[in-house]
Amino acid sequence: MKYDYLVIGSGPAGHVSAIRAAQLGLRVGIVEKDMAMLGGVCLNEGCIPAKSLYHSARVLDTVRRNPDLCGLEVRHGGIDMAGLVEKSRETARQLRNGLSFLFKKNSVDLIIGTARFVDKETVHVSGESGEASRVKAEKFLIATGSAPRPLPGIPFDRERVITSSQGIRLEKTPEKMLIVGGGAIGTEFASFFNTIGTGVSIVEIEDSLLPAEDREVSKRMRSIFKQKNIETLVSSRVKKVSVESGAVAVTIEGPDGETTEKYGLLLVSVGRIPSTSGLGLEKIGVATDDKGFIPVDERMRTNAENVYAAGDVLRTPMLAHLAYAEGEIAAETAAGQTSDPIDYSSVPNAVYSEVQAASVGMTEEKARSEGIDFRVGKQFFKSNGRAAVNSQTEGFIKIIADRDTGGLLGVHIIGYEAAESIHEFVVAKKAGLSVGDIAKTIHAHPTFSETAAEACRAVFGEAIHG
């Protein structure tokens, strides 16, 4: 059989693209090298199981901190990590089964095996048991995702030196651990392990936690970590690691020199690298850059006329929701349709720590560096009625708006369910609405979203409850 469109990789970009292409009338196949990883890293080793663990930990922590909650008698005991992990695995299994159903529903053929290009219309697919076949297609999508970036000279042993992939499967936790990398994933894991009782230190080479976020958000998150006894070492790097006597000895170089500490576990979260090697891209002339990323145009077309790419193999933010959009555009292009290009400045980012952070658009630092004339409005959740009711008053919403037009340049939230609250601003920014438009929109009371309107009013110094 020759497919109209063959997708390599079943992660967020791949499975969305395959289903969308099938909806548009194309004969579609999708190749996944491991049935147990159907749906990709996000579904099996990232977004879904990790957030399941975080949610379980937060529920347990809420009960632990509120023994008289709803008049219930709470009996304290140890945390059943194996149970938490099993719940997260079951969640992933349910969604994986759902994805299999969607493929069947949309007549997408699932092919299990590792794909490698033979020529511009053929891939060789080899299975785990040694069986092999050749699959032909008119057009292809490369959506093979990414893998954890190792520390130079420090290999993962998957027992004491681990990645997030092993971190979500730990059924026993150490008394003390070090996380290398203070970005979103490192921050989330630090928050999770701290919540379940592990002593956590986190080291970041940049001069702030969450270096990609607005400085005020980063600073507040670090303060929250300090309150929770999470040690944050910024402007620091790991210089040496050795595993000895069931522990990991780590030498850290910081502003005040070198220190060596022993930890029960070292979790490395210093970014990810595209999984583009071994695909035979040289056989079909698909270009990659010096880091292995595949350059594409706004229609997700590579330099090879019948080959598209989407998701983590692109030099765009490695976010599942962005991969969805990129995959959909690739499918529509392959089917001869035209769709609006992605506005990357309106793509939201979220950090799922106990106190969440979320953002869209420019940071204040970025706006200042570009010489933009802007105003800042900020409103704290402590003045919000629903936040008080829910005992979730930590954090704020910060708005960066054009001084003359009131147009949204950037929004930064730290607080309860920030990842949900950001979408009002994403829609407003994409639609070209001003802070005045949001401020004049009546928000239901009592809700956390009222703080959004107040933050917009604060841009002009008119917040009622601020």
For 335-369, the pLDDT digits (tens) are: 999 999 999 999 999 999 999 999 999 999 999 99
Give me the mean pLDDT over the 324-330 stretch.
Answer: 98
Q: What are the φ/ψ torsions at residue 124 (nearest 5 degrees)? A: -95, 125
**313 vs 74, residue with greater confidence:** 313
End-to-end CA distance of the chain: 65
Give me the mean pLDDT over the 424-443 stretch.
Answer: 97
Can you give the pLDDT at residue 344?
97
Name which of 12, 91, 98, 87 is nearest 48 in CA terms.
91
Can you give the pLDDT at residue 75?
58
What would the CATH number be for the domain defined by 355-458?
3.30.390.30
Can you give the pLDDT at residue 447?
97
Q: How confident is the model at residue 419 (pLDDT cuts 50, 70, 90)?
A: very high
Please identify every residue annotated as catalytic: 445
Locate the domains of the chain by residue range: 2-148+273-344, 161-270, 355-458
Give me the mean pLDDT over the 318-331 stretch.
Answer: 98
Average pLDDT, the chain: 95
Q: How confident is the model at residue 60 (pLDDT cuts 50, 70, 90)?
A: confident
Q: How far apart are alpha carbons 178 and 175 in whole angstroms? A: 11
For the chain, the C-alpha Rg in angstroms (whole number) is 24
Q: Report pLDDT digits (tens) over 114-169.
A: 999 999 999 999 987 778 999 999 999 999 999 999 888 888 888 899 999 999 99
Encoded tokens for 46: 């990232």
Can you give the pLDDT at residue 249?
94
Can you give the pLDDT at residue 62?
80
- Residue in the structure block whose two tokens are 């089964």: 97
Strands 231-233 and 199-203: what pairing?
A: parallel
Q: What are the φ/ψ torsions at residue 60 (nearest 5 degrees)? A: -60, -40
Predicted TM-score (pTM) of the model is 0.94
Architecture of 161-270 per CATH? 3-Layer(bba) Sandwich (3.50)
Residue 74, pLDDT above cutoff 70: no
Residue 71, pLDDT above cutoff 70: no
Q: Report pLDDT digits (tens) over 268-322.
A: 999 999 999 999 999 999 999 999 999 999 999 999 999 999 999 999 999 999 9
Name which of 181, 183, 146 is nearest 162 in CA terms.
181
Can you give the pLDDT at residue 79?
81
Q: Report pLDDT digits (tens) over 20-31.
A: 999 999 999 999
Percent of the chain clearing pLDDT 90 (strictly above): 89
Q: How far apart are alpha carbons 43 and 23 in whole angstroms? A: 22
Can you give the pLDDT at residue 76?
58
Residue 203, pLDDT above cutoff 90: yes
Q: How far apart are alpha carbons 135 and 152 in whole angstroms? A: 38
Can you give the pLDDT at residue 129?
79
List C-alpha distances in Å: 158 to 91, 297, 430.
23, 38, 42
Can you give the pLDDT at residue 63?
78
- CATH fold label, 2-148+273-344: FAD/NAD(P)-binding domain (3.50.50)
Domains 2-148+273-344 and 161-270 share a fold: yes
Can you give the pLDDT at residue 1?
76
Can you give the pLDDT at residue 376?
98
Can you give the pLDDT at residue 77?
61
Is the distance from CB of 5 to CB of 300 less than 8 angstroms? no
Can you give the pLDDT at residue 369?
97
